[in-house]
Amino acid sequence: MQTEDLFKEMAQSITDGESEKAAELAKQSIAMGIDPLDAINKGFVAGVNYVGDQFSCGMMFLPELVMAGEAMKAAVAVLEPELTKRGTERKMLGKVVLCTVEGDIHEIGKTLVGTMLSATGFQVFDMGVDVPVMKIVEKARDVGADIVAMSALLTTTMVHQKDVIEALEDVGLRDKVKVMVGGAPVTQEWVKQIGADGYSEDAIGAARIARQLLGV
């Protein structure tokens, strides 16, 4: 297969949300000696952009966006060892530590935000649900996070978003990270009250806010 045709197929695999196909094409590109950065940027990313555009004009919907994001992840996972081998790395928009706060097991909104952030080009460290305050802070320090993003569905667990911000202050990390909060009970007033930097009611908005906060 010609390189150009391979790139087209790569884009198509993302548009179709075919993770296995995307991984297969990624392997093929390595076998053909194609630079993995080219495979990503000239091949797969074109598919992501197409889906993004179609979504914006109302022709595609959230499940298609999520599946494209997952296909992209599958392709990048295959290409990553090759990137390391060549001593290159994919330029990411920033590092995000993501979780649902302590005492709260509600996962779906948080996971959706993770998918959207990765698809947008962020490196996401998803810590899962019911994550204690200090675990979040330690993770942010360990990975050198640019953003800490926290979800809560209950007004009684939402208070831990404030605790995390205070803990970040205590360890001197607060001015190094942006804090995003989300979940059904979160409002603009709450964001102001606890001194968070941004919030969004939905996952796509969250990716937009993350870019704004980092100016990328």
Stretch near another protein under the rule CB under 8 A, chosen from 26-34, 42-50, 102-110, 165-173: 102-110
Question: 10 Å Cβ neighbour count for 176?
Answer: 12
Q: Does 155 bind another protein (CB under 8 A)?
A: yes
8 Å CB contact between 136 and 177: no
Q: Contact with another protein (CB under 8 A): which of 30, 62, 173, 213?
A: 62
> What is the C-alpha to C-alpha distance for residues 77 and 118, in angstroms, rounded to an integer?
12
> Per-residue x/- marks for another protein, 19-58, CB under 8 A?
------------------------------------x--x
Stretch near another protein under the rule CB under 8 A, chosen from 9-17, 37-45, 119-127, 181-189: 181-189
Q: Contact with another protein (CB under 8 A): which of 184, 197, 208, 211?
A: 184
Helix (H) or strand (E) holding 190: helix 188-194
Q: Does 157 bind another protein (CB under 8 A)?
A: yes
Q: Contact with another protein (CB under 8 A): which of 59, 77, 108, 171?
A: 108
Q: Contact with another protein (CB under 8 A): which of 84, 88, 156, 212?
A: 156
Q: In the β-sheet with 178-182, what is the strand arrangement from edge to edge? A: 123-126, 95-100, 147-151, 178-182, 198-199
In 3D space, the residue among 31, 30, 52 whose CA is nearest the CA of residue 39 turns out to be 30
**Nearest to another protein of 75, 101 (CB atom):** 101
Task: Report the number of secondary-structure helices (H) and strands (E) in the chain.
Answer: 10, 5
Stretch near another protein under the rule CB under 8 A, chosen from 36-44, 79-87, 89-97, 152-160: 152-160
**Nearest to another protein of 4, 201 (CB atom):** 201
DSSP letters along 54-123, please? HHHTTSS-HHHHHHHHHHHHHHHHHHHHHHHHTT--PPPS-EEEEEEBTT----HHHHHHHHHHHHHT-E
* Binding residues vs another protein (CB under 8 A): 55, 58, 61-63, 103, 105-106, 108-109, 112, 154-157, 159, 184-185, 187, 189-190, 193, 201-205
